[in-house]
């Protein structure tokens, strides 16, 4: 295992210094690329969320990020933000901005929200609205950014690239500049949390990725853009458990929003708001568990295929997406392989795709690593070497290579036929009161 997590990003209780809390399991958008399945898991009450915040404070976590679903759909979000502020957290709010009206922005300014991360999908209103499938959402979202900036709240305009966006990087930069906010472009679309790959249908095109990566390369020195192979082998491939941990809307404690593994559970067992640790563990106990400790120490050197790949220095990946796409949390992620190839060609030069000579590699999808370099510009599939240590890990932690059925079980998706919904109060049903949640009848 590599010691790849960044300088002492552990709190006093062994947790990362950053925690994400998904306070809502519903959304007012129906984004085509979204990985989430909404409305099936249930939600914590205000009291339960305050219990989570208290425990995170005790453990030394410094930064708390609130998201959903769509966090702004909760009537009690102001109370949640104030509770976080009372405990001294730096607060991040992730939102689509659609329901961010003047009153909520005032609360955010009052409590000193450190950063608002607002999702935007294009600089063209029709394209943005096509992604969200909500007419008028672009105007509402950009209006929210104006309000936030006007109240002195730092805003990051987050753009997950999809093939529905015609804007090159220069236009996205211009939009962010006109709104007075920073820009962050996400180039990877992930599989849905129920195992469906439907969200990948709107992945950015090769031309889009090339344009985006050229813009990135133009703004960064080569040494900053590409990590050396040996240096990267010792680093963490992602921040799950090493730099962040997530509490989902139903109170389950997970490594991140994508890895379908419940480390513990933190929510009330009765009808009241008094939260208590139930199930496998609370947050503190989850951080001391084998699974958490294992994931917090995973480095690129622990990823079979990836560690031997010629494209390692140009690759970025997601453990959860790898599990959904290939059935192996610690193996090659097909969509990441494709992005790495494009990044190499943008930053280094064209590649000649050569057929595999190894029999095992020849049976594999030719677009999935590992790859070996042949000469100056040749690339061909190479054997994916699994060691005894790799197999021992899979035996110790079976969730590393889950079956499709097991993936759905790990995610905690409730079959639709067992769902019963309590009707939310209020005619608009765009926001709901504490305690209004989804429930399901017995198995």
Domain architecture of the chain: domains with CATH: 18-279 (3.20.20.70), 300-389 (no CATH)
Token pair of 125 as six digits: 């209103």
SS3 158: strand
pLDDT-derived band of residue 285, with 50, 70 and 90 as boundaries?
Answer: confident
Give the mean pLDDT of 155-176. Answer: 95
CA 39 to mean position of chain CA atoms: 18
pLDDT-derived band of residue 227, with 50, 70 and 90 as boundaries?
Answer: low
pLDDT-derived band of residue 271, with 50, 70 and 90 as boundaries?
Answer: very low
Contact 188, 318 (CB under 8 A): yes
Q: Return the pLDDT at 360.
A: 94
Q: Which of 353, 343, 370, 373 is nearest to 226 (CA)?
A: 343
Give the β-pairing of 244-247 and 252-254: antiparallel
SS3 202: helix
Element (H, E) at 109: helix 102-111
Residue keyed to tokens 């943008």: 346
CA distance 328 to 201: 21
* Residues 6+ positions from 371 with CB-CB distance below 8 Å: 309, 310, 311, 337, 379, 380, 381, 382
CA distance 180 to 419: 43
Residue 183 above 50 pLDDT?
A: yes
Q: How many CA atoms lie within 13 A of 261 on its CB side?
A: 26
Q: Return the pLDDT at 82.
A: 98
SS3 180: coil
- β-strand partners of 186: 160
SS3 218: helix
Cis peptide before 370 (omega within 30 of 0): yes
**Tens digits of per-residue pLDDT, 352-394?**
999 999 999 999 999 999 999 999 899 999 999 999 999 999 9
Residue 225 above 80 pLDDT?
A: no
How far, CA to CA in Å, does 256 sit from each of 2, 161, 262, 332, 439? 20, 21, 10, 19, 23
Residue 8 above 50 pLDDT?
A: no
How far, CA to CA in Å, does 82 sit from each of 92, 97, 401, 430? 13, 19, 41, 22
Contact 272, 435 (CB under 8 A): no
DSSP state of 199: G
Q: Return the pLDDT at 41.
A: 75
DSSP state of 305: T
Residue 442 vs residue 398, higher pLDDT = 398
Q: Determine how many CB atoms are found less than 10 A away from the CB of residue 404.
A: 11
Asked whether the CA dihedral 86, 87, 90, 91 is positive or negative, the reply is negative
Total count of residues recorded for the chain = 443
* Residues 6+ positions from 231 with CB-CB distance below 8 Å: none
Contact 140, 119 (CB under 8 A): no
Q: Return the pLDDT at 215.
A: 84
pLDDT-derived band of residue 197, with 50, 70 and 90 as boundaries?
Answer: confident
CA distance 295 to 298: 5
């Amino acid at each position: 295992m590599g010691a790849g997590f960044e300088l002492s990003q552990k709190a006093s209780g062994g947790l990362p210094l950053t925690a994400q809390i998904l306070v809502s399991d519903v959304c007012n958008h129906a984004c085509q690329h979204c990985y989430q399945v909404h409305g099936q898991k249930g939600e914590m009450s205000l009291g339960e969320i305050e219990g989570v915040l208290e425990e995170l404070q005790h453990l030394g976590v410094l930064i708390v990020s609130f998201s959903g679903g769509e966090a702004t759909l909760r009537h009690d979000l102001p109370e949640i933000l104030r509770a976080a502020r009372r405990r001294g957290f730096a607060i991040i709010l992730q939102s689509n901005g659609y329901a961010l009206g003047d009153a909520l922005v005032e609360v955010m300014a009052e409590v000193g929200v450190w950063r608002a991360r607002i999702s935007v999908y294009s600089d063209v209103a029709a394209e943005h609205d096509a992604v969200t499938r909500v007419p008028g959402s672009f105007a509402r979202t950009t209006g929210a950014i104006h309000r936030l900036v006007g109240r002195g709240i730092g805003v990051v305009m987050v753009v997950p690239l999809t093939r529905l966006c015609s804007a090159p990087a220069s236009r996205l930069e211009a939009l962010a500049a006109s709104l007075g906010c920073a820009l962050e472009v996400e180039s990877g679309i992930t599989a849905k949390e129920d195992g469906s790959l439907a969200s990948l249908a709107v992945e950015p095109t090769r031309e889009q990725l090339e344009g985006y990566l050229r813009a990135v390369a133009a703004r960064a020195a080569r040494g900053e853009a590409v990590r050396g192979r040996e240096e990267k082998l010792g680093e963490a491939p992602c921040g799950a458990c090493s730099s962040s941990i997530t509490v989902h809307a139903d109170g389950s404690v997970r490594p991140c929003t994508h890895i379908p593994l419940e480390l513990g559970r933190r929510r009330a067992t009765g009808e009241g708001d008094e939260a208590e640790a139930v199930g496998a563990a609370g947050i503190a106990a989850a951080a001391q568990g084998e699974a958490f400790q294992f994931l917090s120490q995973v480095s690129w050197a622990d990823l079979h295929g990836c560690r031997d790949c010629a494209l390692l220095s140009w690759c970025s990946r997601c453990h959860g997406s790898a599990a959904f796409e290939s059935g192996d949390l610690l193996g090659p992620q097909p969509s990441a392989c494709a992005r790495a190839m494009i990044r190499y060609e943008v930053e280094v030069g064209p590649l000649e795709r050569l057929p595999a000579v190894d029999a095992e590699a020849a049976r594999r999808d030719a677009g999935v690593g590992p790859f070996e370099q042949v000469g100056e510009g040749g690339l061909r599939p190479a054997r994916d070497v699994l060691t005894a240590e790799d197999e021992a890990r899979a035996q110790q932690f079976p969730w590393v290579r889950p079956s499709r059925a097991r993936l759905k079980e790990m995610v905690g998706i409730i079959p639709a036929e067992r769902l019963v919904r309590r009707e939310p109060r209020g005619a608009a049903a765009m926001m709901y009161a504490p305690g209004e949640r989804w429930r399901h009848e017995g198995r």
